[in-house]
Every structure is written in C-alpha cells, then in structure tokens.
Amino acid sequence: MRHLVFIDYVIILIYFIIVASYGYWIYRKKKQKQTDTKDFFLAEGSLTWWAIGASLIASNISAEQFIGMSGEGYHVGIAVSVYEWLAAVALIIIAVWFMPIYLKNHIYTMPQFLKTRYNETVALVMTIFWLFLYVFVNLTSILYLGSVAINGLVGGQSLHLIMLGLALFALVITLGGMKVIGYTDVIQVAVLIIGGLATTYLALTVVSEAFGLGGGAWDGLKYLVKDSPEHFKMILNKPAPDAPQEEINKYLVLPGIAMYFAGQWIVNLNYWGCNQYITQRALGADLKTARTGILFAGMLKLMMPVIVMLPGIAAYVLYKNGHLPQLHGGSKDGAYSAILGFLPSGLKGLSVAALTAAIVASLAGKANSISTIFTLDIYKKYFKTDASETNMVWVGRITVWTAMIVAVFFTWEDTLGIGGEGGFTFIQKYTGFISPGVFAIFILGMFWPRTTGLAAIAGVITGFAMSVVFNNYAPAWFGNETILYTAYSDGNGGYEIPFLICMGWSFFFTVLVMVVLSLFGPARNPKAFALEKAMFKLEPRIWAMIITMLCILTALYVKFW
C-alpha cells in the first residue's frame, strides 16, 4: 500500500490552516460574547440554516460512519443505508413536531426538558446516563476508529500520536464555543463531501480497472451490482435453520423487514430528536431557521451512503476476487483504509483531510454537549447555584478538557474492546441500552398530557432493564424461539437476539409500564406542555423540502428493495 507523500501532507496542512484560521476569526469576531453561556453553549441566534444543517451532518458523520458504516457495507451491503435514509425521515419528524415544542418552551438542554416536563429526579438520572454514554461510548469510539484509520494511511507507525493529535485539534475548536464549532463545521462538511465523493469515485474506478472494464466509475458500479447482487438488497431475508454463520451475523446487525417495525425508528428518532449532541445545534435558533436547517441536513443524509457505504462494497468485491490482499483477514473495519490505499497522491491527502474533518467535527460537537450538560444541569444546579456567566463558561472549558483526557485514557489500549465489537455496531448496540427508555419518556412527555413523573422514572428503569434482559438473558431464560423473538447462534456457542429487535420490545414494554402508571394519575399532568395547531403549521418552502426528500427516498427503496 502506498502511504502519504509530500503533496498529501501539504493538502492536509492546508486543511488544518483553513479550519483553524476561520475558527479563530469567528472567535475573535464574537469574543465580546464569550462570557455568555447561551452564546458559548448554543451560539444563540447566530447560526444560519445552512450552518445548522452543515453542523448536524459534520457532527453526525464521523469515524463510525466512514470506518464503521463502510465496514458494514463491506460485511452486509446497501442494507446498512437504512441508518442514513430513515434518518432523513426522522429529521422531517423532528423538524415538524419536536422543534416547535422545544423552542416554545425555551428548552436548551435535554435534562432541562425532563425537569420542565417531569421532575428533578428524572433529569438528574438521565443527565448521569448521558454523560457516561457520551464519554465512554461516543468519544472513545470516535477516537479509536479515527486513529486506527488514519494510522493505517500514514504508515502505521504512531497510533497514539495520531490519537493525541485528533483530541488536541478537537479541543482547540471546542474551546471556542458552539459558534466556532457551527461555522467551522461548514468547512468540515465541504471537505468531508468533496473528499468522500472523490474516494467513492476512485474506488469505483479501481473496480472498473481491476476487472478490465475500461476504468469508468459507472462501469465499476455496475460490476459491483453484477458481482455481488446480495449486497444491493435493502431487506435481508430471515436466515433458514441451516444458514451459514456469515448470513446469520448479517441478520443480527440488520434483521430484515422486522427492524422497520422495531428498533430502527427508536435509533433514529432518539438520536436526532432527544440527543443533546444533535439538537443543540438548532435550540438557539428561531423555528423557521431551525426547521430549514434540520431539513437541509436530511437532504444531505440521503447522499451519505454514497460516501460512507459504497467504498465498503467496493472493498468487498476487490477482496473476494483477490485484488485487495492488504485487507488482512477481511476485517470489515479495515475496508475504508484499504480503499484509500489505491488513491493517487494528492487525492489521498484530500481523503485523509475529509476523514479528519469528520472525526474532529464529531469530537468537538460531542465534547461541547458534555460540557453543556455538566455545566448547566449539574454544576449550576448542585455545586454553585449563583455561578456567574464567566464562571460557567470556564467550567465548561475545563469539562471539555476532562472529558477528552478520560476518553484518550480509555482508548489508549482499547480498554473497552471497540475493535473486537466492530465500531459501528459498538455504538449502536450500547447506545441501545438506554435509547428505548429515553425515547419513551420523551415521546409520551411531548404528546400525552397524562404522563407522570413517576411513570418517567419507571420508564428509565424499565427501558434499561428490558434492554439488558433481551440483549443478555432472554434466550437462556425463555428459549431461542418465542412469540416475541427468534434468537440466533452468535458463532461462539451462545445465542442472541438482533439488537434492533431487542430495542423494539424494550420500548414496547417501557411504554406499557408508563401508560399503566400514568392512568393512576390525573387526566392531565400539571406539567404537560400546551400544544396548539399553529405550532405545527408549515410554510410552502418547508413542504417543498419534505416532498422532495420523500420522493427521493421512495425511488431508492423501489430500486433496491
């Protein structure tokens, strides 16, 4: 594999200089407001719709997509695009129904939502949950996957140095506040898309050349479909009793049509609508700007599989036909890096810059969210209720440093086993332990006035407990085949239920418990939000964006069903 040469390093250096310089300019321009917490944490009122949309994508698309989703593209195929394409539908739902409720009630953090709608106990429990999740699952996985990928491209000599470099660059951006993050994310997304598309184009060209088709990218794509048609099916069939383990492993990750009635919606709606890391970008804007920015992000999500999934399928076809021997053992998390090895000098540097942009933007966004939640929902409430604006901004910055140091410590020797689990699956699976309960208390809290604080506390506990039961114990306790699920061999002597199915049933039982408990309370909880039809009225421009997205999505599913 050819590693980076001088021109590649020049391109990467130019990327760093542009992002750092632009971020510093934004910081200096707004420096007089940097003691204002709402400006530091939310960039209140200053992000345009295109900055909000770009920042959403930059924060979302990171190493787990470039490396993890490309790896799942290698392993499973286009079916993994469900995470991107249904995210577009989830963003429509968030823009139309969730954002009006948040903005009308002046919600700035997700724990604040829980306190406003339920009580302090629910907010505190979930605050602790979120902080642990963001630090020990999200920050660590982004750092690990990103470091492994970039290390493979620059010669495999200094994984730890790269890890530190990514963490430090993210710190520089994060310490400037949400405004710096939001506007530098516009550059990050531009680099991400241009570099990502260049990588996909070259990957398809390599496929075309490898099989003597003339070197055209379109010819390369057609060969992928011809050679591996099973990788171009959105819906995986349920494995037969005698199915090979490889087929079962795919179904465990993406359980066919069943996931569309279970965990897939919970994953997307919880991630995009009940997640400080994401919603924070829009919470400081007015409703029109927030909606437009969120739908712009939805349109960008539709094209993301081209960037983060197709290179994985290309790597699969090349590897199985003997054209990619450097992909040692066929490891799915090495697929994207192996493809980058084919790129010519210069383009390889652009692709590394795109990957770095995705990693740094996600690290910065996640660190800012950790800082926001800790400062506003723990420090201000429980440690120093009379803290000044300046004091809270400095506490936020110290929190950013602390979170990043902890993440580096646990990632240094892959203490959490991210590499063995597979990056994308690691994040989805362990986030799934709290997603059902979180989404249940949010969705019922928004739209069912009867939901009580007691029901919310029970929902948090039930959601987590049910997730543990279904993911870890159900096959042993209740058998491998029940009316609720089918458990499949994990290849190591045990049995497991697809985690998206686990999420679906965990959510169902959580809602059931919450509804039953709430029926013992008043017909309308005093803390219920007041909903009015005018809140959900859409402008013609918003309708046009929604219809366009749904038409594109329909065409994609008709083509690849």
DSSP assignment string, 12-37:
HHHHHHHHHHHHHHHHHHTGGGTT-H
pLDDT at 214: 75
d(CA 393, CA 430): 31
Closest CA to 406 of 134, 170, 61: 134
Q: Is the pLDDT of residue 112 over 60?
A: yes
**What residues have CB less than 8 Å from 383, skipping those under 6 apart?**
none
181-218 tens-digit pLDDT: 666 667 767 777 887 788 888 889 888 888 888 778 88
d(CA 82, CA 66): 15
d(CA 187, CA 10): 17
- SS3 state at 2: coil
Q: Is the pLDDT of residue 71 over 70?
A: yes
8 Å CB contact between 257 and 235: yes
Q: Is the pLDDT of residue 4 over 80?
A: no
488-489/495-496 β-pairing:
antiparallel
d(CA 107, CA 86): 26
The tokens 């332990």 sit on which residue? 433
Which of 7 and 158 is assigned the larger pLDDT? 7
- Other Cβ atoms within 10 Å of 385 Cβ, number: 8
Please give the backbone phi and psi of residue 526, each rounded to the nearest 5 degrees, phi first.
-60, -25
pLDDT at 37: 56
The H or E element spanning position 496 is strand 495-496
pLDDT, mean of residues 139-162: 76
Joined together, the tokens standing for residue 294 give 């969120």
User: 495 forms bridges with which residues in the sheet?
Assistant: 489
d(CA 521, CA 452): 7
Q: Is the pLDDT of residue 42 over 70?
A: no
Domains of the chain: 6-431+531-560 (1.20.1730.10)
126 sits in the region (left: phi over 0; alpha: psi -120 to 50; else beta) called alpha
Confidence of residue 516 (pLDDT cuts 50, 70, 90): very high
Highest mean pLDDT among 174-178, 503-507, 509-513: 509-513
8 Å CB contact between 172 and 22: no
Q: Is the pLDDT of residue 100 over 70?
A: yes
450-496 tens-digit pLDDT: 999 999 999 989 999 999 999 889 999 999 999 998 888 887 888 88
Which of 312 and 179 is assigned the larger pLDDT? 312
8 Å CB contact between 449 and 528: yes
What is the rounded end-to-end Cα distance, in angstroms, of the chain?
A: 36
Integer Rg of the chain from CA = 23
Q: What is the DSSP string of 236-294?
A: PPPPPTT--HHHHHHHHHS-GGGGGGTHHHHHHHHHHHS-HHHHTTTTTS-HHHHHHHH
Q: Is the pLDDT of residue 45 over 60?
A: no
236-277 tens-digit pLDDT: 888 888 888 888 888 888 888 888 887 888 888 988 888 877
pLDDT at 249: 83
- Other Cβ atoms within 10 Å of 103 Cβ, number: 18
**Percentage of the chain exceeding pLDDT 90:** 20
Highest mean pLDDT among 20-24, 141-145, 157-161, 504-508: 504-508
209-221 CB burial, b ≥16 within 10 A, e <16: bbbeeeeebebbb
The H or E element spanning position 488 is strand 488-489
pLDDT at 312: 87
d(CA 270, CA 507): 11
Which of 113-117, 169-173, 367-371, 511-515 is the least confident region? 169-173
8 Å CB contact between 26 and 179: yes
Confidence of residue 66 (pLDDT cuts 50, 70, 90): confident
Closest CA to 64 of 308, 294, 319: 308
pTM of the model: 0.83
pLDDT at 180: 65
Confidence of residue 34 (pLDDT cuts 50, 70, 90): very low
Confidence of residue 281 (pLDDT cuts 50, 70, 90): confident
The tokens 């302090």 sit on which residue? 120
Sign for the CA dihedral angle at 405, 53, 27, 196 comes to positive
d(CA 381, CA 124): 10
Longest CA pairwise span in the chain (Å): 72
Q: Is the pLDDT of residue 1 over 50?
A: no
8 Å CB contact between 404 and 170: yes
d(CA 263, CA 460): 17
d(CA 40, CA 198): 35
pLDDT at 547: 96
Q: Is the pLDDT of residue 521 over 60?
A: yes
Which of 422 and 408 is assigned the larger pLDDT? 408
pLDDT, mean of residues 281-289: 82
Confidence of residue 63 (pLDDT cuts 50, 70, 90): low
428-455 tens-digit pLDDT: 667 777 889 999 999 999 999 999 999 9
pLDDT at 30: 59
8 Å CB contact between 330 and 146: no
Q: Is the pLDDT of residue 36 over 60?
A: no
d(CA 151, CA 83): 27
484 DSSP 8-state letter? S
